[in-house]
Amino acid sequence: MLLLRNTASFFVEDITTYKQQMLNWGDQFSICCFMDSHNYPDTYSSYDCLLAAGANTIFAPQKNILSQFSAFRQQYPDWLFGHVCYELKNEIEVLTSEHPDHIQFPLIFFFQPETVITVKGNEVIIECIENQPADIHQQIQKEQLTLYYNHPPNITLQSRISKEQYIATIEKLKQHILRGDCYEINFCQEFFAWHSAIHPLQAYQQLVNVSPTPFAAYYKLNNKYTLCASPERYIKKEKDLLISQPVKGTIKRDKTNEQADKALKAALLNSVKNRSENVMIADLVRNDLSRICTEGSVQVKELFGIYTYPQVHQMITTIQGKVPVDIAIADVLQATFPMGSMTGAPKRKVMQLIEQYESSSRGLYSGSIGYITPENDFDFNVVIRSILYNQTNQYISCWAGSAITFYSDAIEEYEECLLKAKAMQQALDISLL
């Protein structure tokens, strides 16, 4: 049975300021999720911005997760916000992980929010279980904005592996490809710092100021935070349409010279390596979607789309298919998670190789943050370009990776990782070792 929430709509003239006030207001809660598109044009977008604050009911089992998720969703057909960690792969594909996870997000966590706020254009809709929307609206408008960022003192991110170790690993992965073990593998490295205190909300605001992206998120779960500047959508459902938009293909920008920047975009579009990577992941996603979509409905809507972000140009492909409107989110996860852009192909084998060659548990990195509506629509991002922070042990984790094929140049792949980590480095005003 659908929950009848107290709901009201408000017109807000200065929506940019209001969104900042929304985030400040939501941060008072121990659990909140703020998602912002930063006004990027998106054919499939339902909202410009959302905030979920306060947990009325939570879902966070440690085993038999997907079967329990279906039952939980049937019991609570309301708004749900939350995350899925990359390590859920262990249940889906019957794999194991031995690496340490110092951030310690639960494998899965969803909460039914006390308050949900959606923004589309200048319209703000506030929905509450017990509170009154007009009261929440007034509280938000009274929020004071932080106009400065307190720089953390002397934080240096270290890499789990040296440049030399990284290059040697890439050569080993290329040998796996040569032997036919896999075609493409997403290899990632962690940059981290212990005993480093940051102000999560201010760090997030600085991150999206440096790198505003269409699938950004500020996600707070008690003492754990994800400050996410993701450019990538994992999966979205709207009525009977299922959409996935894998990102595969990256090139730096030249913001000092417009013609040079256009030339870089053209180079990315015409890159044989990046196009081949993109096709392989598009085929993998098509295969995943075909497991749950109506036969013959899966199609590539856009191949090799080039999209521009503050630090990089990216190649994005859009794949969609038709599904029953009442399909369970657990069934979608079972068929498609983890997303192919963060694994490679064939998926199960490369996840085994990732475990073998990476040195930390990815945790929420390569996982997803998103929401499910009362109508059973949903939208989830890919957690990349993110700062993960455990406030209790003051541990900071930032990951970067790239797709490795037999034609990959190890030094170029290493430099791509540093490029992707640049926005996080600038947001924290820290150095990389």
**Residues 6+ positions from 232 with CB-CB distance below 8 Å:** 215, 245, 246, 247, 316, 341, 381, 382, 384
248 tagged catalytic: yes
In contact, 56 and 337? CB cutoff 8 Å: no
* Catalytic one of 232, 355, 358, 413: 232
- Which listed residue (220, 248, 322, 420) is catalytic? 248
CA atoms of 394 and 193, how far apart (whole Å): 8
- How far apart CA 125 and CA 18 sit, in angstroms, is 12
- For CA atoms 397, 193, 221, 48, the dihedral sign is negative
Question: How far, in Å, CA of 157 to CA of 159, rounded?
Answer: 7
Tokens matching residue 172: 């080993």
Q: Token pair of 191, please? A: 């940059």
* Residues with active-site annotation: 232, 248
